Structure formats: structure tokens, C-alpha cells
Amino acid sequence: ASLPDRNMSEMESSLELTTSLPGSSLPPLRSRIFKIIVIGDSGVGKTCLTYRFCAGKFPEKTEATIGVDFREKVVEIDGEKIKIQLWDTAGQERFRKSMVQHYYRNVHAVVFVYDVTNASSFQSLPAWIEECKQHSLGVEVPRILVGNKCDLRDAVRVGTDLAQKFADSHSMPLFETSAKNPNDNDHVEAIFMTVAHKLKSQKPLVLSQPLGTESTVQLQQEHKSAWVCGC
């Protein structure tokens, strides 16, 4: 479900016009888009995790992502339809370098992924966090840490304790999961929904006039959040 035909500026807008009701004289309503980037070494399973969330299954075959793939899912939170737009980024330097600035522009949340069976993907995390810092991400942008491939139990090289310590030191919640294990389907869903709930609570929609006119919707940001990263 990647969307190669959509241009970058279209993908970078955080509001989307939705079709107006048939026969309605009101202008179309706007629905919100939460842009969430998924970052981490090549092969950790970013494509599989995002595909799992958006398509509900583990992809049969993946190839290294080039640039970025967009995956989207519309969810309803407290009666509001929100489009979760996942940016499945490339882990390989040569496939990402021309795109990096687009990844971070107007981003609402960052999901860092490592592979629990691959210690070096865990050791790379400080470099990924540093990249965020280089792109001046605000403290209000939530970050979460995901250890993937937990189905490969005998091959685990990054223990939960170590990962939890790292997550704590960067004020990030840690989730260990598997994009592959069918029993973890709800878990993968819960991870992204947790981020969406967090974003919705951070940015409540304030309706100052009745719905339907352009000026009605204001996004109000809380100044401080408990769920921030000190990186």
C-alpha cells in the first residue's frame, strides 16, 4: 500500500480535505493526519511492522526500502477520524541520504526500531537519536522504542533489561514485539495506536465555531508533555 504517485508536498500536509457529504452545501471537512516516521538500521523490520499495522498481515517478501514508502491507516479515536501516515524510511545510507530532510519535516512522532536478534542494530540507536537531534526535533515530538523479531526467541541478543535501561535513559517507552508472529498482531496495532492517542491528547481539536468553515479548526498544542525524550 505504498503511494508512489503522491508527491512529497502533498504527503507533508498535516490536514487533508475529505469529500463533503452528498447534497451538502458546506465546504468539505478537514481531517487530521499524524505523520509518524519509522527509523532504524536496515533489516530490523520497519517495512514489515508498518505493513503489518496498515495491511494487517506480515508481507511475504520485502526488499530494502529505497527513499521512503508511505503507508496509511484511518483510525477513529474518541469519535474523530484520524489518518495515521507512516513513513517507512530506508535504513541503508545510500537509499536514504537524499530523503532525510523530508523524513523530519513536520513530523509528529518518531518510532525507533531495532532487531532483538541483532546487537549492532541496538548499538546504532544513539546514532539515530543523534540524527533526530541534528534535525532539531522539538521536545513535544513523542519518541518510542520498538524491539522487533521477538518471535526468534532462541536468537535474542538484546535483553529486555538492557533495552529498558536505554529506553528509560532517553525517556522513551519500550515495546518488544514481532511483525511476524500472528499472536502479536494486536500488539503491533497497539503500539501505533498508543502513539496516535498520545498525539491526539497533545493536540486537541478546538472547535471555536460550528464545523464546516475553514476558520473553525484550530490546533492547540500543550506546551509540556511527560512523554518526551531528552535527546
Ligand X SMILES: Nc1nc2c(ncn2[C@@H]2O[C@H](COP(=O)(O)OP(=O)(O)OP(=O)(O)O)[C@@H](O)[C@H]2O)c(=O)[nH]1
Residues that bind Mg ion (CB under 5 A): 46-47, 65
Q: Any contact of residue 62 with ligand X (CB under 6 A)?
A: yes
Please give the grid coordinates belonging to residue 150.
Answer: 521477538
Q: Any contact of residue 91 with ligand X (CB under 6 A)?
A: yes
Q: Are 113 and 81 within 8 A, CB to CB?
A: no
Residue placing its CB nearer to ligand X in the complex, 50 or 202: 50
| 39, 54, 65, 141: which one binds ligand X (CB under 6 A) | 65
Q: Which residues of 129-151 are buried (b: 16+ CB within 10 A; e: fewer)?
A: bebbeeeebeebbbbbbbbbbbb
Residue placing its CB nearer to ligand X in the complex, 60 or 76: 60
Residue placing its CB nearer to ligand X in the complex, 32 or 35: 35
Determine the residue type at 113. Answer: V
**How far apart are CB 76 and ligand X at their closest, in Å?**
27
The Cα 209–Cα 163 span in angstroms is 47
Which range of residues in 11-19, 21-29, 40-48, 136-144 is near ligand X by CB under 6 A?
40-48
Q: Which residues of 4-14 are buried (b: 16+ CB within 10 A; e: fewer)?
A: eeeeeeebeeb
**How far apart are CB 89 and Mg ion at their closest, in Å?**
8
Total count of residues recorded for the chain: 231
Q: Any contact of residue 86 with ligand X (CB under 6 A)?
A: no
Q: What are phi and psi of 30, to 5 degrees?
A: -110, 140
| 82, 90, 137, 167: which one binds ligand X (CB under 6 A) | 90
The Cα 88–Cα 170 span in angstroms is 22
**How far apart are CB 141 and ligand X at their closest, in Å?**
21
Please give the residue ranges that form the binding site for ligand X (CB under 6 A).
42-48, 62, 64-65, 90-92, 148-149, 151-152, 178-180
